[in-house]
Chain A
């Protein structure tokens, strides 16, 4: 996500320079807006996958002996973990803005732990599933959806680790410059929300 952030490059410096035109001075920080737009686009990718999956389910019968039933316990625990992680990330953000850097980093660490737990749970689930990627259409779609979401979670965890490192004493992310953390938080809530939809249509439907 940092590629969206021309924070110290020439372009940003030019804009930050005093033009006296009003326009230059007004060049605020639109990176979160840009990220939100990107997440809309990313959400459309998921929407396409969801639409494909729902259409497959509606019109393509499974071969005999296959079922849409999935083990629910582990995914439900995973869902709870992700929901809690959104809360802990929110606490991390609030603490950073309030100046409590150390508390913020601890909440972030908790979020990272929850994210890693989620991924581990996903791996355990994969290993115990009765079908593989090419077993049938439902299996392929299942792995495509959860895998694509898992990639998002992995990226989120990596970003959180970076944020955790950058918000150390003397790091780039501070109360005055919280962009890295805010961006990752927005992204994490997005990934969380996608999972809720995914859980609903893939496991519960």
Chain B
């Protein structure tokens, strides 16, 4: 069962080497994962700059920084870029492609070529979207939701380019989802059971099911919307006998699951990171798995809670309120499992762990406001206000983006063979955590007091907290600098990490850093206990689980 004979050919020689391979149509899942990550981060910088424009405009009650039309375009581009070009590709495509083949004990994804196609759809789609800003009429102005009749009545070319771009990105997402499902279900190494897989595999399986079931509905809807814009049909145009609410239903049938597409993989990544740095097994593996599956099922049947003000009939409100509230149950199970994983652990409070723990704090807060928003009377009060903006950003930034940073600190040694600088990492964390909360916490208050979202101007009584929010945004922008410096310098001259600096047990660490082209030189290891810390298996830190050394791990 070992690799005894020399290979007939060297696959390395068939593809570009060095940094050039990251610009090539590489079929190596690790290269594709890094491509997703770096490409996504570049779009994050652009989306962040757009957020900077928004917060600068909102630093004063009057519209004095950019024109109102430009503000609308910036707002739309910010939302679309952050969701479709940063979070979804990175938290699914980047880490999924890099980690899933390791976790299932395979040498690549099930469909390597489809995988490369899925990635290479993204840069053209992103460039297309951003370039629409520079054409006559400008980019789309109707927000990332593109609700008609607004999306039908704003300048058409920008909107059509937006649709085209989102269709390309949706296609990329679907191809990726198919690949993950096939890889996780079919490509597992012999002897590896589903219930032995690292949790991120389950998260990606659930996410990919959501992608495959819901993304095509968005695609179909946007095609109908493009007919309304280009061919002047009346699907969603009330003046031609159409129905705007149908658009909302179809849109949210994708876009609510999209929240889980953005956050379930983050749940999975956190479930990988916490046990390693707490030196304890992941608490409640089985309940974690069923929680993920529960979230997948519930996530598909709660979409209309975005539409409580759209004239939904009472029975529908009742159903969607109850179903949405129920999501708190599996999510809550996961939270208590993470807390129980940390409890009594030998915690190393490094940058990865700081971001992961901050994720728990932020996401609980976003989750609580989420349950509040599911209640019809409350939702009607705060609908389309900054309360929703605050809630959403606590979920996708405080939740997912914090996890992305945590995951970069955790897996950077695997990607490059070098450690990130811990001091810069903590500075990055501190600035991000303070900046994020300063930016978005006040928006709850603003929303509760009636400040509408997506408007360039506001009542002067809201000026102070908007300025606080803008200061927070500035801190977030500054926080990116230590991260960028850290990543670039460490990749070139960082301290060598060795193969397994965290002494982790999941399969990606049981090979060299960075790994060879086919992941392992010999056979893939059979990892039956990916979280066997402090147990018989390996006898790692057995004492750490007694509960007497809480927090002492940082001096480890």
A60, B241: Cβ atoms under 8 Å? yes
B2, A20: Cβ atoms under 8 Å? yes
B112, A11: Cβ atoms under 8 Å? yes
B524, A140: Cβ atoms under 8 Å? no
- Pick from B90-98, B242-250, B357-365, B527-535 the stretch touching chain A: B242-250
B112, A20: Cβ atoms under 8 Å? no
Q: Is the interface of A mostly helix, strand, loop or mixed?
A: helix
Within 8 A of B (CB), among A25-80: 26-28, 30-31, 33-34, 37-38, 40-49, 51-52, 55-56, 59-60, 62-63
A20, B178: Cβ atoms under 8 Å? no
A63, B241: Cβ atoms under 8 Å? yes
- Pick from B229-237, B494-502, B548-556 the stretch touching chain A: B229-237
Q: Which of A21, A26, A43, A137 contacts B241 (CB 8 A)?
A: A137
- Pick from A1-9, A90-98, A166-174, A179-187 the stretch touching chain B: A1-9
B107, A23: Cβ atoms under 8 Å? yes
Across the interface, name the chain A residue whose C-beta is closest to B215: A41
Q: Does B168 sit within 8 A of A, measured CB to CB? A: no
Looking at the assembled complex, report how far the CB atom of B154 sits from the nearest CB atom of chain A, in whole angstroms: 20
Specify which chain A residues have a CB less than 8 angstroms from the CB of B2 in the assembled complex.
20
Q: Does B323 sit within 8 A of A, measured CB to CB? A: no
B27, A19: Cβ atoms under 8 Å? no
Specify which chain B residues have a CB less than 8 angstroms from the CB of A26 in the assembled complex.
189-190
Q: With contacts A22-B189, A40-B212 known, is A11 near B246, CB below 8 A?
A: no
Q: With contacts A11-B113, A140-B235, A144-B227 known, is A22 near B181, CB below 8 A?
A: no
A45, B1: Cβ atoms under 8 Å? no
A9, B27: Cβ atoms under 8 Å? yes
Contact with A along B81-116 (1 / 0, CB 8 A): 000000000000000000000000111101111100
A44, B213: Cβ atoms under 8 Å? yes
Q: Does B216 sit within 8 A of A, measured CB to CB? A: yes
Within 8 A of A (CB), among B487-529: 518, 520, 522-524
Q: Does B463 sit within 8 A of A, measured CB to CB? A: no
Across the interface, name the chain B residue whose C-beta is closest to A9: B113
Q: Which of B117, B190, B234, B518 contacts A22 (CB 8 A)?
A: B190
Q: Does B221 sit within 8 A of A, measured CB to CB? A: yes
Contact with B along A120-154 (1 / 0, CB 8 A): 00000000000001101100110010001000000
A-B contact count (CB 8 A): 170
Bound form: Cα–Cα A28–B235 in Å: 45
- Pick from B6-14, B39-47, B278-286 the stretch touching chain A: B6-14
Specify which chain A residues have a CB less than 8 angstroms from the CB of B5 in the assembled complex.
18
Q: With contacts A38-B174, A55-B243 known, is A10 near B11, CB below 8 A?
A: yes
Specify which chain A residues have a CB less than 8 angstroms from the CB of B221 in the assembled complex.
48, 52
A6, B112: Cβ atoms under 8 Å? yes
Looking at the assembled complex, report how far the CB atom of B523 sits from the nearest CB atom of chain A, in whole angstroms: 3
A44, B112: Cβ atoms under 8 Å? no
A140, B227: Cβ atoms under 8 Å? yes
A45, B107: Cβ atoms under 8 Å? no
Q: Does B352 sit within 8 A of A, measured CB to CB? A: no
Q: With contacts A3-B114, A17-B7, A40-B212 known, is A52 near B250, CB below 8 A?
A: yes
Looking at the assembled complex, report how far the CB atom of A65 sits from the nearest CB atom of chain B, in whole angstroms: 13
Bound form: Cα–Cα A135–B191 in Å: 61
Looking at the assembled complex, report how far the CB atom of A139 sits from the nearest CB atom of chain B, in whole angstroms: 9
Specify which chain B residues have a CB less than 8 angstroms from the CB of A134 in the assembled complex.
231-234, 240
A4, B14: Cβ atoms under 8 Å? no
Q: Does A176 sit within 8 A of B, measured CB to CB? A: no
Bound form: Cα–Cα A26–B187 in Å: 8
A22, B217: Cβ atoms under 8 Å? no
Looking at the assembled complex, report how far the CB atom of B72 sits from the nearest CB atom of chain A, in whole angstroms: 27
Specify which chain B residues have a CB less than 8 angstroms from the CB of A3 in the assembled complex.
113-114, 117
Looking at the assembled complex, report how far the CB atom of B92 sits from the nearest CB atom of chain A, in whole angstroms: 15
Across the interface, name the chain A residue whose C-beta is closest to B518: A14
Q: Does A24 sit within 8 A of B, measured CB to CB? A: yes
Across the interface, name the chain A residue whose C-beta is closest to B114: A4
Looking at the assembled complex, report how far the CB atom of A177 sits from the nearest CB atom of chain B, in whole angstroms: 17
B8, A17: Cβ atoms under 8 Å? yes
Bound form: Cα–Cα A51–B2 in Å: 54
Bound form: Cα–Cα A22–B7 in Å: 16
Q: With contacts A3-B113, A10-B11 known, is A137 near B240, CB below 8 A?
A: yes
Q: With contacts A19-B107, A37-B178 known, is A133 near B231, CB below 8 A?
A: yes
Looking at the assembled complex, report how far the CB atom of A16 sits from the nearest CB atom of chain B, in whole angstroms: 11
A52, B235: Cβ atoms under 8 Å? yes
Q: With contacts A10-B14, A22-B523 known, is A34 near B233, CB below 8 A?
A: no
Bound form: Cα–Cα A96–B249 in Å: 45
Contacts A10-B27, A33-B182, A48-B220 aside, 15 further interface pairs with beta carbons under 8 A come to A6-B112, A11-B113, A14-B107, A14-B108, A15-B108, A19-B107, A20-B4, A34-B110, A34-B179, A41-B174, A45-B216, A45-B219, A63-B241, A134-B231, A134-B232
Provide a sorted-by-A list of 20 A–B residue pairs whose CB atoms are within 8 angstroms: A3-B114, A6-B112, A6-B114, A10-B14, A20-B2, A21-B524, A23-B107, A27-B106, A33-B186, A34-B114, A38-B174, A41-B174, A41-B177, A41-B215, A49-B224, A51-B249, A52-B250, A137-B234, A137-B240, A144-B223
Enumerate the 5 nearest inter-chain pairs by beta-carbon distance, A residue then B residue, closest first.
A11-B112, A21-B523, A48-B217, A45-B216, A140-B233
